[in-house]
């Protein structure tokens, strides 16, 4: 069948309508696809925001748990005179009490002035300055175990953190083996943490 110009004239309106319908169909497909992609992106963005919020919530719960733990440790440290001002008078009073208990034959001590403590290797002490009050000890002992008993008593009976650095033992030449058999010299010091942000 052969189409003529007359046939095209009759079909013109139908072809125009078909073209318009095709254009609208293509536009509808394009906008539907764009909307679907946009909604898919919005869904993924919402999912990421939800995951981020869940992660922040979990971190906040962990921080709260850590804060409670740290506060307990901080309170215990304050109670033990590790954090705060130097408690030299308490140390002296309690050392005198140890002296009266006769855990060792005799001991003498000397507490030096408080100085800044320099760690080797250096460490990050956060908001705290580390202070150190050197205390040298000299002992008269019957036997080595007395020295261990003394430092056990010092740690359990005196609040604070005494860091023992070294001890040396020497045999004491006594007449007839009577009295203290050993002399000991120990070096160490009291460690105190001071919050840099604390009010003077």
User: How is residue 81 written in tokens?
Assistant: 């005179």
Q: Count Cα atoms within 13 angstroms, Cβ side, for 41.
A: 6
User: How is residue 39 written in tokens?
Assistant: 């909604």
3-state DSSP assignment of residue 193 = strand
Query: Is the CB of residue 42 less than 8 Å from the CB of residue 152?
Result: no
Q: What is the mean pLDDT of residues 53-67?
A: 67
Task: Tell how strand 161-171 and strand 182-195 pair up.
Answer: antiparallel
In this predicted model, which residue has the larger pLDDT, 67 or 15? 15
* Cα Rg of the chain, angstroms: 42
From the number of C-beta atoms within 10 Å of its C-beta (0-12, 13-18, 19+), residue 135 rates as buried
Residue 3 pLDDT: 55
| pLDDT, tens only, 169-193 | 988 776 555 667 889 999 999 988 8
User: How is residue 125 written in tokens?
Assistant: 């002490």
pTM greater than the 0.75 cutoff: no
Residue 122 pLDDT: 76
Residue 192 pLDDT: 86
Question: Would you give the distance in Å from CA 159 to the centre of its chain?
Answer: 23
Residue 198 pLDDT: 62
Q: Where in the chain are the domains?
A: 1-79, 88-195
- Least confident span in 27-36, 69-78, 126-135: 69-78
3-state DSSP assignment of residue 163 = strand
Residue 75 pLDDT: 46
User: How is residue 181 written in tokens?
Assistant: 């058999």
User: Does residue 78 surpass a pLDDT of 60?
Assistant: no
Q: How confident is the model at residue 68 (pLDDT cuts 50, 70, 90)?
A: very low
CATH classification code of 88-195: 3.30.70.60
User: Does residue 9 surpass a pLDDT of 70?
Assistant: no
Residue 147 pLDDT: 93
Query: Is the CB of residue 189 less than 8 Å from the CB of residue 110?
Result: no
Q: Average per-residue pLDDT in the chain?
A: 79
User: How is residue 135 written in tokens?
Assistant: 């205390």
Cα separation, 14 vs 19, in Å, equals: 9
């Amino acid at each position: 069948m052969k189409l003529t110009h007359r046939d095209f004239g009759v079909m013109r309106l139908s072809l125009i309508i078909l073209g318009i319908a095709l254009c609208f169909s293509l536009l509808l497909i394009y906008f539907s696809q764009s909307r679907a992609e946009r909604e898919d992106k919005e869904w993924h963005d919402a999912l990421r925001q939800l995951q981020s919020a869940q992660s922040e919530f979990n971190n906040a719960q962990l921080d709260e748990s850590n804060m409670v733990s740290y506060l307990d440790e901080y309170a215990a440290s304050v109670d033990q005179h590790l954090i705060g001002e130097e408690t030299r008078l308490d140390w002296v009073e309690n050392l005198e009490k140890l002296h009266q208990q006769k855990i060792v034959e005799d001991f003498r001590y000397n507490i030096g002035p408080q100085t800044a403590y320099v760690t080797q290797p250096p460490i990050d002490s956060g908001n705290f300055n580390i202070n150190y009050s050197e205390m040298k000890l000299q002992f008269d002992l019957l036997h080595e175990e007395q020295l261990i008993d003394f430092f056990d008593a010092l740690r359990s009976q005196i609040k604070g953190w005494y860091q023992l650095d070294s001890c040396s033992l020497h045999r004491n030449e006594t007449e007839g083996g009577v009295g203290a058999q050993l002399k000991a010299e120990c070096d160490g010091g009291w460690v105190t943490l001071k919050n840099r942000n604390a009010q003077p």
